[in-house]
Amino acid sequence: MKKSGVINSEVSAVISNLGHMDWLSIGDAGMPCPLTTKKIDLAVSRQLPSFIDVLTNVLTEMEVEKIYLAEEIKTINPDQLAQIKKVLPGIEIVFVPHSQLKQDLNKTHAFIRTGEMSPYSNIILQSGVTF
C-alpha cells in the first residue's frame, strides 16, 4: 500500500503518465467536464474535499511549470487566487476567459472534480520536468 503523497489510484496513475507540457485539470463541483476527458470525481459533499486541498495533494507528486486560470477569478474569487499563488509560488500564471478554460479541458489528460463550491475554482496545470 502506498504510504504518502497521492493515494487515490486514479489520480496517481494520471500524474505518473504525464510528460513534459501535458495538462491536468482540477476544478470545482460545478465545472462541466467534456465527455472526451477522463473525469476523476472526488466530490463527497459540499466543500469536501476542497479545491485547495486537492491541489496541494497533487502538487506533492507533480512538477508544474505553468498554470492556467480563469480571468474572472481575479475579481470574483480573489481569496482562492491568493491561496493558489501561495501553494504555487513563482509559477507562471496565464489568465484566460472562463469560457476558454472550459474549452481547454478537452486538451487535459483528466479533470479532477472536487467538492469545492466557490466560483472559478478551476485550474489547468502544465507539467514540468524534474531535470
**Domain count of the chain?**
1
Q: What is the pLDDT of residue 2?
A: 84
The three three-digit cell numbers of residue 5, written as one number: 503523497
Q: What is the pLDDT of residue 36?
A: 95
Q: Is residue 35 part of a domain?
A: yes
Active site residue 20: yes
The three three-digit cell numbers of residue 57, written as one number: 495533494
pTM of the model: 0.97
120 is in an annotated binding site: yes
pLDDT reading at 103 higher than 90:
yes
Q: Is residue 78 part of a domain?
A: yes
**Vertex 118 angle, CA 82 and 102, to 5°:** 90
Q: Is residue 113 part of a domain?
A: yes
- 7, 13, 17, 20: the active-site residue: 20
Q: What is the CATH number of the domain that holds 65?
A: 3.40.1650.10
The three three-digit cell numbers of residue 39, written as one number: 473525469
d(CA 62, CA 18): 9
109 is in an annotated binding site: no
The rounded radius of gyration (Å) of the Cα atoms in the chain is: 13
Domain limits at 120? 9-127
d(CA 43, CA 116): 8
Q: What is the pLDDT of residues 53-76, one digit of tens each?
A: 999 999 999 999 999 999 999 999
Q: Kindly report which listed range (1-5, 86-90, 97-101) carries the lowest average pLDDT score.
A: 1-5
Q: What is the pLDDT of residues 1-47, one digit of tens each?
A: 888 899 999 999 999 999 999 999 999 999 999 999 999 999 999 99
Q: Is residue 16 part of a domain?
A: yes
Q: What is the pLDDT of residues 105-121, one digit of tens each?
A: 999 999 999 999 999 99
Q: What is the pLDDT of residues 70-81, one digit of tens each?
A: 999 999 999 999
Q: Is residue 3 part of a domain?
A: no
Q: Is residue 1 part of a domain?
A: no
Average pLDDT over residues 74-96: 98
Q: Is residue 103 part of a domain?
A: yes
d(CA 107, CA 39): 13
Residue 68's beta-bridge partner residues? 94, 124
28 is in an annotated binding site: yes
